[in-house]
Amino acid sequence: MQTTIDPICRPPPRTLCVINWSCLAKSRSGKTPPQGALVAIDIHNGNVLAMVGGRNYAESQLNRATDARRQPGSVFKPFVYAAAFESGISPLSLFRDEPQTFQYGAATYSPANYGKAYSMHDVLLREGLVRSLNVVTVDLAPAPDFKSRRHRGPVRPAATGRVSVNGPGHL
């Protein structure tokens, strides 16, 4: 039998999970202890280096890394942002954080931010990533090459000292 698991992976993946679970548990006093999973993958060849499927096998035999059924949600966001940054989109690009409806062929999609909270103004792309803003991510993602994105361009200081934006609607 061959395995790609790295027995001396540093830092130990289980330790990382325990630290994070402990931090989460402090904010959830009196509630069920948090669960989670971790899968560490070698970015060069795709080999699985480490896997943690949950907090305590004696309490729950569900391997959250391989068997949990959930909507992917924010799991995809880092990949969307990484592809955008690699294609040259600046983290200083502006996107509108407000309710929007997107057209995909004959279908429409109206994403909502967590708690249906919107800032109702332009936000930096990096803020969209940090705050996990669904509308900004969906606005960023439509084109595989990111050339048809709807953002308002990189932020640039204007000669007046005000902040201006390239593209439609610039100052």
Which range is least confidently modeled, 56-70, 91-105, 152-166? Answer: 152-166
Architecture of domain 73-165: 3-Layer(aba) Sandwich (3.40)
- State pLDDT tens for residues 5-22: 777 777 788 888 888 888
Give residue for tokens 């690699």.
Answer: 86
- State pLDDT tens for residues 52-95: 989 888 888 999 888 887 666 777 888 888 888 888 889 999 99
User: Looking at the predicted structure, is the pLDDT value of residue 165 above 60?
Assistant: no
Which range is least confidently modeled, 80-89, 126-135, 140-149? Answer: 140-149
- Secondary structure class of 103 (helix, strand, coil): strand
Question: Which of 89, 136, 128 is CA-nearest to residue 111?
Answer: 136
Give pLDDT, residue 170: 33
**What's the pTM value of the predicted model, to 2 decimals?**
0.52
User: Looking at the predicted structure, is the pLDDT value of residue 121 above 90?
Assistant: yes
Domain ranges for the chain, please list them. 1-69, 73-165
Which residue did the predictor score with more confidence, 151 or 139? Answer: 139
Q: How many CA atoms, within 13 angstroms, populate the side-chain half-sphere of residue 68?
A: 16
Q: How confident is the model at residue 149 (pLDDT cuts 50, 70, 90)?
A: very low
Paired strand residues for 102 = 109
State mean pLDDT over 21-46: 82
Q: How many CA atoms, within 13 angstroms, populate the side-chain half-sphere of residue 25?
A: 12
Q: How confident is the model at residue 124 (pLDDT cuts 50, 70, 90)?
A: very high
Give pLDDT, residue 10: 72
**Separation CA 9–CA 51 (nearest Å):** 11
